[in-house]
Chains A and B, each alone.
Chain A
Amino acid sequence: MTTSSPTLEAVAVRPPEALWRKTVRTFFRQRSAVIGLSIVVLLALVAIFAPLIAPYDPTRVLIGVEDVKRRDPPCIHILGCDSEKPQHILGIDGNVRDVFSRLIYGTRISFTIGFITVAIALIVGSILGSIAGYIGGWTDNIIMRLLDVLLAFPSLILSIAIVSVLGPSLINAMLAIAIVSIPAYARVIRATVLSAKQEEYVHAARTLGLDSGRILFRHILPNAITPLIVQATLGIGAAILETAALSFLGLGAQPPTAEWGSMLSAERNQLFTAPHLVFFPGLAIMLNVLGFNLLGDGLRDALDPRLRNY
């Protein structure tokens, strides 16, 4: 389509639709973005259908239930494992639970963490950033300097401090990570609002007598969505990684919750004697974060007109 010489009528009719179509096409042209999307969709399906996929209850201790020993290696019948032994495709953990089932349910936790954390940070960050950008002056200064203070701390250290005050739990870990992520969203939205409020359509709206709230939420914010989508997608990966780190330190998900970081932490001493217990949760974290990062990168390339390659 781009090869045909556009006529005036075509330009007048096609723009809104063509923009999205071009975006989608640009996105799907990038192999890494497609891989990222595939990973995320696959993991989302795993999270949704976890009870159907997982063969065992993730917290069920199998002592006395099946003939398995703690930290048994994977047993897959089609790969030659004795068919009389119960099949555990990723083995048994230190508390005699099925690792595969725990890993599957861990996907749910990771997705929940990623989305809720980013949602909290996105909402609060957008409100603060847009107020700061739109009102400007002292309000802008106060809000942004306070957020700069948050940015001055390494995010993980600040999260640890917040969880230490609130008490270790998955919800507090999510809150902590959301709080430390707020500045990033606020800065993105503020920058967009600052440039958008100089646009002519905003001047026009103001001239027409629309109130500030309407201008901000109806006219400016919809135009700031693009960078937010990119930031949020990348943020999900970062949030999952940070929650795993907090859980590894014992500050996030509490036993017996099947969370990848805490699964890693519980078996960290078995790196040499039962490597499968450390390898698979680590691989799951890596895949999940990689998926969201590739997806985020792809979205950025597709949505940013400066990077668009026609």
Chain B
Amino acid sequence: MSYLKLRRNAGLALMMALLLPILAACGGSTTPSTSSNAPAATEAPAAQAPAEEATEAPAEGAEAPAEGASETPAGDIGEIPPAGPQGGLSKNGDLLVASVSSCDVDGYAGIFKEIAAIDSHTVQFTLCNIDPAFEAKLAFAAFQIHPSEYIVATGGTGDLIEKPIGTGPWKFESWNRGDSIVLVRNEDYWGEKPAFERLVIRWSTEAAQRLLELQSGNVDGIDNVGTEDIDVVKNDPNLQLLERPALSTFYLGLVNTSGPLQDEKVRQALAMAIDKQRIVDNFYPAGSSVANYFTPCTLDHGCSGEPWYEFNPEAARELLAEAGYPDGFDIDLSYRDVVRGYLPQPSQVAQDIQAQLKDNLNINVNINVMESGAFIDAANAGKLEGMFMLGWGADYPEVTNFLDYHFGASSVSFGTPYEDIVENLRKGASLATFEERDPFYVAANNAIREHVPMIPIAHGGSAVAFAGDVENANTSPLGNERFELMTPGARDTFVWMQNAEPTGFYCADESDGESFRICQRVSESLLSNEVGGTKPVPGLATECTPSEDLLVWTCKLRENVKFHDGSAFDANDVVMSYWNVWDASSPYHVGRTGDFTYFEALWGSFMNAK
């Protein structure tokens, strides 16, 4: 017996010896976040020194040419690439100028005519048409400024996407794929430096896990508190809840090149067959509302025109029968299982839409859950079939941000663009006053209602939560939480947990809020938005003033600003950053996908587009 016992114990010991390293490895993923939290801050310096050396090493290397560049603004960007058929980049002495030969040049429908460095700290934008949202767009994260030398050196490679260099309060340290992103304080930041040293970004698609991590003190703040968890956070004295105003729209996209959806009557029938009130009542938190237009009504022109169809399943059935589908049909519904402010419970909402369409129209919906990045890329490229669930959170508070991006000439998310919507949006965006613009937005919204490229369902309110000892906690309707203004108790590290992993950090070629939030910590745009609000305020430009005819905007740039690589920020960096995205023939016009969807959607079109 004792021999048997001995064997059993030896077996157990062997199992433990095998299991322990595995357990340790599994726990490894959570260890860094825990250790990076509260007390670890005082222990950090030893481990941190090599990391700082590692990040500063290339910066010193890059500093030499940049120092010279601060005197002569052209910097070390080598030879100017040859201009394309519509225009290109040129030099005026040491100053860069990007321009198209004419606003009417064949095939060009963009807003920009010229972006020129007037002196080392002045940039002038000359426009083809008036753009009432010009300042709001300048503040947007997709139009950030990078060092011109870095664009030239990294254009076409992954460094601009994976190791961004900007002027922001945080320097990029590392991206541990699948786990976390680490940013360190920019000691040379031109504004108020962050009170803590390190900002760690983690993610989880699970609302329960995010809350658990916050409750257990592993993270200092979480995004999108689960609908059912809002009361839990409110009642927990160790946590604080900040509600984020609803400036977003959840919609059901209908691809007009796909099967029965090619028929407008089918799309209209779907629009009448979904009980949106039921979805909002059951799956959205307080502060949310049914969407009767694509744009929230708080924005000018958002609710111009006829409101959406009433829920009427009988009329929907008749319309579907008229279209030749009295017995329904089979269709795909794609979505990503990621919680967003506009869609707090993706899987439940998908199943409710499935149940409603089955009950009301006998349509069999096949649910297709996709990986987040692949889904966004497919949606932007118009590669999804059937229906898809997606939403939109405001990037800047203007109707063009909602309508032009989705229904403009360059948007193929819903299949082939609708000419009448495109035309009305183009005219509306080129006029200055509310009275002049409104008739075009009335027409555009009515055309959207008629063609039903999508069904607007809800304007979702959402909430973020922070540990109780985080001071100056803030949130923003644009999803731009300013961690640099917060103080996480006495800790030197702030850990934020969001819904999903960012896709890349050259945000000119991104469209995902999870990426924008990080980009806005590292890089900056010419203008910024007020904390917790949407109003444009000075950023890298201290002011941007228009000419009388609103066609020329002159931006005075902030002086003594340095990029993270030590190079000086000047007007040429602004021209280079804009030109690289604007000119499709630029050798550096390369991003993660190469679509640069925001530029085309918001500024009309690329120069030298193929």
A residues with CB within 8 A of B: 59, 61, 63-64, 70-71, 94-96, 168, 250, 254-256, 266, 268-274
Given the complex of chains A and B, what is the CA–CA distance between A222 and B296 in angstroms?
72
Check if B208 is an interface residue, CB within 8 A of chain A. yes
Report yes or no: B351 in contact with A95, Cβ–Cβ below 8 A. Answer: yes
Q: In the bound complex, do residue B354 and residue A255 qualify as a contact, i.e. CB atoms below 8 Å apart?
A: yes
Give the complex CA separation of A272 and B226 in angstroms: 12
Nearest CB of chain A from residue B147's CB, rounded to whole Å? 41
B282 near A96: Cβ-Cβ < 8 Å: yes
Interface pick from B31-39, B68-76, B342-350, B435-443:
B342-350
* Contact of B208 with A255 in the complex, beta carbons under 8 Å: no
Q: Which of A94, A168, A250, A271 contacts B348 (CB 8 A)?
A: A94
Q: For the complex, what is the distance from the CA of A250 to the CA of B366, rounded to whole Å?
A: 13
Among B226, B228, B352, B368, contact of A95 (Cβ-Cβ < 8 Å) = B352
A273 touches B206 (CB 8 A): no
Cβ of A255 and Cβ of B347 under 8 Å apart? yes
Query: A63 vs B282: C-alpha distance in the bound complex, in angstroms?
Result: 9
Minimum Cβ distance to chain A for residue B96 (Å)? 48
Q: In chain B between 334 and 368, which residues have their CB closer than 8 angstroms to a CB of chain A?
A: 337, 345, 347-348, 350-352, 354-355, 359, 366-368
- CB contacts under 8 Å to A, within B268-326, are 278, 282-283
Q: A95-B355, A255-B347, A255-B351 are in contact. Are A270 and B366 (CB under 8 A)?
A: no
- The contact of A269 among B208, B278, B352, by CB within 8 Å, is B208
**B207 contacts A by Cβ under 8 Å:** yes
Interface pair B278/A64, CB less than 8 Å apart? yes
| Given A63-B282, A254-B367, A268 and B228 contact (CB-CB distance below 8 Å) | no
B232 beta carbon closer than 8 Å to chain A: yes
Question: Which of A168, A256, A270 gathers most chain B CB within 10 Å?
Answer: A256
In the complex, are the beta carbons of A61 and B337 less than 8 A apart?
no
What is the CB-to-nearest-CB distance from B397 to chain A, in angstroms, rounded to a whole number?
Answer: 31
Known interface pairs A270-B208, A273-B232. Does A256 touch B351 (Cβ–Cβ under 8 Å)?
A: yes
Tell yes or no: B94 within 8 A of A by CB.
Answer: no
Contacts of A256 in B (CB 8 A): 351, 354-355
Nearest-neighbour CB distance to chain A for B356, whole angstroms, equals: 8
B369 on the interface (CB 8 Å rule)?
A: yes
Chain B residue with the shortest CB-CB distance to A95: B351
**Other-chain residue from B207, B208, B337, B354 in contact with A250 (beta carbon distance below 8 A):** B337
- In the complex, which residues of chain A have a beta carbon less than 8 angstroms from the beta carbon of B208? 268-272
Contacts of B330 in A (CB 8 A): none
A273–B229 touching, CB < 8 Å:
yes
Chain B residue contacts of A269, Cβ below 8 A = 206-208, 226, 228
Given known A-B contacts A63-B282, A250-B337, A250-B369, A266 and B355 have beta carbons under 8 A apart: no
Give the shortest distance, in Å, between B367 (CB) and chain A (any CB).
Answer: 5
What's the minimum C-beta distance from B332 to chain A, rounded to whole angstroms?
11
A residues within 8 A CB of B345? 94
Please provide the chain B residues from 109 to 130 with a CB less than 8 Å away from any CB of chain A in the complex: none
The answer to whether B367 touches A70, judged by C-beta atoms less than 8 angstroms apart, is no
Contact residues in A for B352 (Cβ distance below 8 Å): 61, 95
Additional A-B contact list (15), CB under 8 Å, known A63-B282, A95-B351, A270-B208: A63-B278, A71-B228, A95-B355, A168-B369, A250-B337, A250-B369, A254-B367, A255-B347, A255-B351, A256-B351, A266-B347, A266-B351, A271-B208, A272-B211, A273-B226
Q: Shortest beta-carbon distance, B296 to chain A, in Å? A: 26
Q: Is the CB of A274 within 8 A of B348?
A: no
Q: Interface 1/0s, chain B 206-237, versus A by CB < 8 A? A: 11100110000000000000101100100000
Distance A96 CA – B212 CA, assembled complex (angstroms): 25
13 examples of A-B residue contacts, CB within 8 angstroms: A61-B359, A70-B283, A70-B348, A95-B352, A250-B369, A254-B367, A256-B354, A269-B206, A269-B208, A270-B208, A272-B212, A273-B226, A274-B228
User: In the complex, what distance in Å separates the CA atom of A65 from the CA atom of B476?
Assistant: 39
* Contact, CB under 8 Å: A61 / B355: yes
Once the chains bind, are B228 and A266 in contact (CB under 8 Å)? Answer: no
CB of A59 within 8 A of CB of B355, answer yes
Chain B residues within an 8 Å CB radius of A272: 208, 211-212, 232
List of B residues within 8 angstroms of A270 by Cβ: 208, 228
Assuming the contacts A269-B207, A270-B228, asked whether A255 and B350 have C-beta atoms less than 8 A apart, the reply is yes
CA–CA, A272 and B206, complex, Å: 13
Chain A residues, CB < 8 A from B368: 168
When C-beta atoms are compared, the residue in chain A nearest to B209 turns out to be A269
Query: Roughly how many angstroms separate A70 CA and B281 CA in the complex, as a whole number?
Result: 10
Residue in B closest to A94 when the chains form the complex, CB atoms: B348
Minimum Cβ distance to chain B for residue A7 (Å): 40
Q: Which residue of A lies closest to B231 (CB)?
A: A273
CB distance from B206 to the nearest CB of A (A): 6
Q: How many Å lie between the Cα of A269 and that of B204 in the bound state? A: 11
Distance in angstroms between the alpha carbons of A96 and B351 in the assembled complex: 11
Cα-based distance from A170 to B212 in the complex (angstroms): 32
Residue of A nearest to B281 (CB): A63
Contacts of B351 in A (CB 8 A): 95, 255-256, 266
Q: Tell me which of A61, A96, A271 has the highest count of chain B C-beta atoms within 10 A of its own C-beta.
A: A61
**A273 and B366 in contact, given A94-B345, A95-B352 (Cβ under 8 angstroms):** no
Once the chains bind, are B366 and A254 in contact (CB under 8 Å)? yes
B283: chain A residues within 8 A (beta carbon)? 70
Residues of A contacting B366 in the complex (Cβ-Cβ under 8 angstroms) = 254
B282 and A268 within 8 A (CB): no
Contact between B228 and A273 (Cβ–Cβ < 8 Å)? yes
User: Considering the chains assembled together, what is the distance between the CA atoms of A270 and B226 in angstroms?
Assistant: 9
CB B148 to nearest CB in A, in angstroms, measures 43
A273 to B235, CA, bound (A): 13
Which of chain A's residues has its CB closest to B345's CB? A94
Contacts of B226 in A (CB 8 A): 269, 273
Nearest B-chain residue to A70, judged by Cβ? B282
Which residue of chain B is the closest to A278 with respect to CB atoms? Answer: B208
The 3 A-B pairs with the shortest beta carbon distances in the complex, nearest first, are A269-B208, A273-B228, A61-B355
When C-beta atoms are compared, the residue in chain B nearest to A69 turns out to be: B282
State in angstroms the CA–CA spacing of A64 and B345 once bound together. Answer: 20
A34 vs B367: C-alpha distance when bound (angstroms) = 41
Bound-state CA distance A41–B369 (Å) is: 36
How many angstroms from the CA of A208 to the CA of B229 in the assembled complex? 77
A271 to B367, CA, bound (A): 24
B residues less than 8 Å from A70 (CB atoms): 282-283, 348
CA A70 to CA B352, docked complex, whole Å: 12
Q: For the complex, give the distance between the alpha carbons of A274 and B207 in Å.
A: 14
A268 to B347, CA, bound (A): 11
Cβ distance B238 to chain A, nearest Cβ, rounded Å: 16
A250–B337 CA distance with the chains assembled, in angstroms: 10
CB distance from A21 to the nearest CB of B (A): 33
When chains A and B are docked, how far (Å) is the Cα of A165 from the Cα of B355? 28
Q: List the A residue with the shortest CB-CB distance to B228.
A: A273
**A251 and chain B: residue at smallest CB distance:** B369
User: Is the pair A255, B228 in contact by a Cβ cutoff of 8 Å?
Assistant: no
Beta-carbon nearest neighbor of B278 in chain A? A63
Min CB–CB distance A9 → chain B (angstroms) = 43
CA distance A71 to B226 in the complex (A): 14
Q: How far is the CA of A203 from the CA of B161 in the complex (A)?
A: 72
Chain B residues in 8 Å Cβ range of A63:
278, 282
| Nearest chain B residue, comparing its CB with the CB of A274 | B228
Which of chain B's residues have a CB closer than 8 A to the CB of A250?
337, 369
* Complex Cα–Cα for A270 and B229 (A): 9
Across the two chains, which residue of chain A brings its CB closest to B355? A61
What's the least CB distance linking A10 to chain B, in Å? Answer: 39
Docked pose: A254 CA to B334 CA in angstroms: 13
For A95, what are the chain B residues with a Cβ–Cβ distance below 8 Å?
Answer: 348, 351-352, 355
Contacts of B347 in A (CB 8 A): 255, 266
Contact A255–B367 (Cβ < 8 Å): yes
Write the nearest CB–CB distance from A284 to chain B, whole angstroms.
Answer: 20
Q: What's the Cα separation between A59 and B356 when bound, in Å?
A: 11
Give the residues in chain A near B337, CB-CB below 8 Å.
Answer: 250
Least CB distance, A4 to chain B, in whole angstroms: 34
In the complex, A274 Cα to B208 Cα: how many Å? 11
Closest residue of chain B to A270 (Cβ to Cβ) is B228
Which residues of the other chain, B, contact A94 by a CB distance below 8 angstroms? 345, 348
Chain B nearest Cβ from A168, distance in angstroms? 8
